């Protein structure tokens, strides 16, 4: 191949097929291209869906560089309520010390009020989703230390 | 017409439904598991709600989370796609009670035709031929044995609650009946919670021919021709074509009339498919089952009959009458679909999930690719291995085959293994070209290749 400056030699059998190429091999070029960071963009916007139905303000750890404690995420889809009723105090707020099994909030789905309970004790370091916000599976509800 | 439809599915069919919604001016809501956050259906839907972690049973199979998602997004209808909850009568019922329109037939219809033994009895009651078989169900092998001898061997033992090829065992002769009955029954008990079985005379090397049915809420029911789905590997379809190279016009008419009669008798609404077995001589046809949902292979009917089945489903659910172009179809040309799976055909079709480095799908006249994947996409290991459907349409079968061959040869996928090379072998095979294949063909072909050491 070197003698004739070939960059590609292809061989198929059965009915016999042969392919020879001189000059630059597009295949190896493509592979080189894919290594360049700028040249290979993802075809679509990254990670988060284009227009999510829900966008809790305390979402993820993307905005804040370092976050305290660990996130308590939603185990279901529904509407978030931070208080047992309209004129009560919220279940918890920043600084609240909670014990395992304590109710943190309510997520309402299909007319059923589901109490979301703490899986372990600790101190709430982040809270503040507004009442009535729709939440999806995995959305951050609180952070606990 | 609906303002917002939630798509309770994933992958290519979710994308298909979202596209139809977009063209109808309907807002679409995608639901997704954490493993599907980068999926195309999530990216292209107008809204999206995460409903759980990767496993289907914790996400796509959770009626409560899907309904909750419909509630928080205020969707007025749900399209269930195929698989997952599409034939779950309970889910359809929950939708009905929550005032969310389930895009499909009623829960009662799903229940009736979903129970295989009841469906069979319904067919018999409406004059649709069924394979000779038992009238009732059996719990014990010994009781069924007498009936089996009466029907005559070979026998197919089928669980009434079965599906997807499970809870089925053949008994070729008397000697193996008891063991096979117990195997089928136990499998069904474990998978579906019901081990009751019925018996059918086994049709040797049959063809699988199905008829597309569409009915609206005003009593109109039509059939949109047949699809030949005999090319199967382990009871899973590999290639489908429309029309069937096997059917004579006379047989087509008989089967079409039977299909419409059955659908009308049960007041069928929305899209559905009646599956039949046809014997090798193409003389007799036998009702097998009815699928009360849209099928994977619906595109080949769309291409030949000039219809848009997903939009039709949505329109019917919204209370409209069947479109005039659906009521007056004029078939034109021939269409073939090859299912492309993320599997290694040279390694016993073992699943090949992973990141697709390069994806180049074929194009050109008469080539349609329904897929949710793209270059850079990671195929998750949790779901069905089908990643694309390659559908070609041409003026006649010969040109369609040439076109499929051309399209398959252009299809480039790097990073994962696909069944494209296997499809190429089948499309090129003299049996396929002659239209002479049955549901056991792939099994025989793979056996031959194994013996030759070629696969």
Q: Which residues of A touch B40 (CB under 8 A)?
A: 44
- Chain A CB contacts of B71 below 8 Å: 78-79, 109-110
| Chain A residues with a Cβ under 8 Å from any Cβ in chain B | 30, 34, 40, 42-54, 76-79, 109-110, 134-139
- Predicted TM-score (pTM) of the model is 0.83
Name the residue among B334, B131, B146, B120 with its Cα closest to residue B226: B334
- Residue with the bigger pLDDT between B214 and A25: it is B214
Hey, which residues does B138 pair with through a beta bridge? B197
Is the pLDDT confidence value at A58 over 50? no
Is it the case that residue A47 has pLDDT exceeding 60? no
Q: What is the ipTM of this complex?
A: 0.72
- Say which DSSP state B416 is in: S
Higher pLDDT, A30 or B259: B259
Closest CA to B209 of B195, B223, B221, B190: B223
**Testing the interface with B: which of A59, A60, A110, A141 to mutate, by most B Cβ within 10 A?**
A110
pLDDT value, residue A67: 80
What pLDDT score does A53 carry?
41
Residue B235 in contact with residue B170, Cβ under 8 Å? no
Q: What residues form DSSP beta bridges with B44?
A: none
Mean pLDDT in order along chain B per 10 residues (455 residues)? 98 98 98 96 97 95 96 97 95 97 97 90 93 89 93 90 79 94 90 88 92 97 98 93 97 97 97 95 92 97 98 98 95 98 94 96 98 96 95 98 98 98 98 96 94 78
Architecture of domain B132-201 in CATH? Answer: 2-Layer Sandwich (3.30)
Q: Do B48 and A51 touch (CB under 8 A)?
A: yes
| pLDDT of A3 over the 80 cut | no
- Write down the domain spans for chain B: 4-103, 132-201, 207-452
Q: Say whether domain B207-452 belongs to CATH 3.30.470.20.
A: yes
In Å, how far is B46's CA from the nearest CA of chain A? 6
Give A23→chain B minimum CA distance, Å: 23
- Return the pLDDT at B193: 84
What is the secondary structure of B120-165 as a DSSP string? HHHHHHTT--B-SB-SS-BSSHHHHHHHHHHH-SSEEEEEEEEETT
Judge whether B44 and B15 are in contact, CB under 8 Å: yes
For chain B, list residues whose CB is within 8 angstroms of any CB belonging to chain A. 29-30, 32, 34, 37-38, 40, 42-53, 59, 64-65, 67-69, 71-73, 98, 357-358, 374-376
Domains annotated on chain A, with CATH: 6-35 (no CATH), 70-144 (2.40.50.100)
**What pLDDT, on a 0 to 100 scale, did the predictor assign at position A31?**
57
Provide CATH code, domain B4-103. 3.40.50.20
pLDDT of residue A124: 95
């Amino acid at each position: 191949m070197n003698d004739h400056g070939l960059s590609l030699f292809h061989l198929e059998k059965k009915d016999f097929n042969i392919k020879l190429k001189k000059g630059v091999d597009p295949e190896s070029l493509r592979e080189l291209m894919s290594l360049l960071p700028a040249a290979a963009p993802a075809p679509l916007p990254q990670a988060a869906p284009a227009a999510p139905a829900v966008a809790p303000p305390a979402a993820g750890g993307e905005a804040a560089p370092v976050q305290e404690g660990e996130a308590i995420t939603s185990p279901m889809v529904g509407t978030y309520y931070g208080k047992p009723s309209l004129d009560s105090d919220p279940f918890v707020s920043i600084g609240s010390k909670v014990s395992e099994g304590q109710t943190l909030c309510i997520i309402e789905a299909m007319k059923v009020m589901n109490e979301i309970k703490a899986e372990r004790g600790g101190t709430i370091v982040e809270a503040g989703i507004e009442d009535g916000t729709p939440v999806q599976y995995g959305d951050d509800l609180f952070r606990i230390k | 017409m609906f303002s917002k439809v939630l798509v309770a599915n994933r992958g290519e069919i979710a994308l298909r439904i979202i596209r139809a919604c977009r063209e109808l001016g309907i807002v679409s809501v995608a639901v997704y598991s954490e493993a599907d956050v980068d999926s195309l259906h999530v990216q292209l839907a107008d809204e999206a709600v995460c409903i759980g972690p990767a496993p289907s049973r914790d996400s796509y199979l959770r009626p409560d989370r899907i309904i909750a998602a419909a509630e928080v997004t205020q969707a007025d209808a749900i399209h269930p796609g195929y698989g997952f909850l599409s034939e779950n009568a309970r889910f359809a019922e929950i939708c009905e009670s929550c005032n969310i329109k389930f895009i499909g037939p009623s829960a009662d219809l799903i229940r009736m035709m979903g129970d295989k033994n009841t469906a069979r009895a319904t067919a018999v009651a409406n004059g649709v031929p069924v394979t000779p078989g038992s009238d009732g169900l059996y719990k014990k092998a010994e009781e069924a044995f007498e009936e089996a001898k009466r029907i005559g061997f070979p026998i197919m033992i089928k669980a009434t609650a079965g599906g997807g090829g499970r809870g089925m065992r053949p008994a070729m002769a008397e000697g193996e009946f008891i063991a096979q009955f117990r195997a089928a029954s136990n499998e069904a008990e474990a998978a579906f919670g019901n081990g009751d079985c019925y018996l059918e005379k086994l049709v040797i090397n049959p063809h699988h021919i199905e008829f597309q049915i569409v009915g609206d809420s005003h009593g109109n029911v039509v059939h949109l021709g047949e699809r030949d789905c005999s090319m199967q590997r382990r009871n899973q379809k590999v290639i489908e074509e429309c029309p069937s190279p096997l059917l004579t016009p006379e047989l087509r008419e008989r089967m079409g009339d039977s299909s419409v009669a059955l659908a009308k008798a049960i007041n069928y609404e929305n899209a559905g498919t009646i599956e039949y077995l046809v014997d090798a001589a193409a003389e007799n046809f036998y009702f097998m089952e009815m699928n009360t949902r849209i099928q994977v292979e619906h595109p080949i009917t769309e291409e030949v009959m000039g219809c848009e089945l997903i939009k039709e489903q949505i329109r019917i659910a919204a209370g409209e009458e069947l479109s005039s172009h659906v009521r007056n179809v004029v078939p034109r040309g021939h269409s073939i679909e090859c299912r492309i799976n993320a599997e290694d055909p040279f390694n016993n079709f073992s699943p090949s999930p992973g990141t697709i480095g390069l994806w180049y799908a074929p194009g050109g006249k008469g080539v349609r690719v329904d897929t949710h994947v793209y270059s850079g996409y990671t195929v998750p290991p949790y779901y069905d291995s089908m990643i694309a459907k390659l559908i070609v349409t041409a003026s006649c079968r010969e040109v369609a085959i040439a076109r499929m061959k051309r399209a398959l040869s252009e299809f480039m996928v790097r990073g994962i293994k696909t069944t494209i090379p296997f499809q190429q072998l089948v499309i090129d095979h003299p049996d396929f070209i002659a239209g002479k294949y049955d549901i056991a063909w792939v099994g025989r072909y793979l056996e031959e290749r194994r013996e030759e050491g070629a696969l």
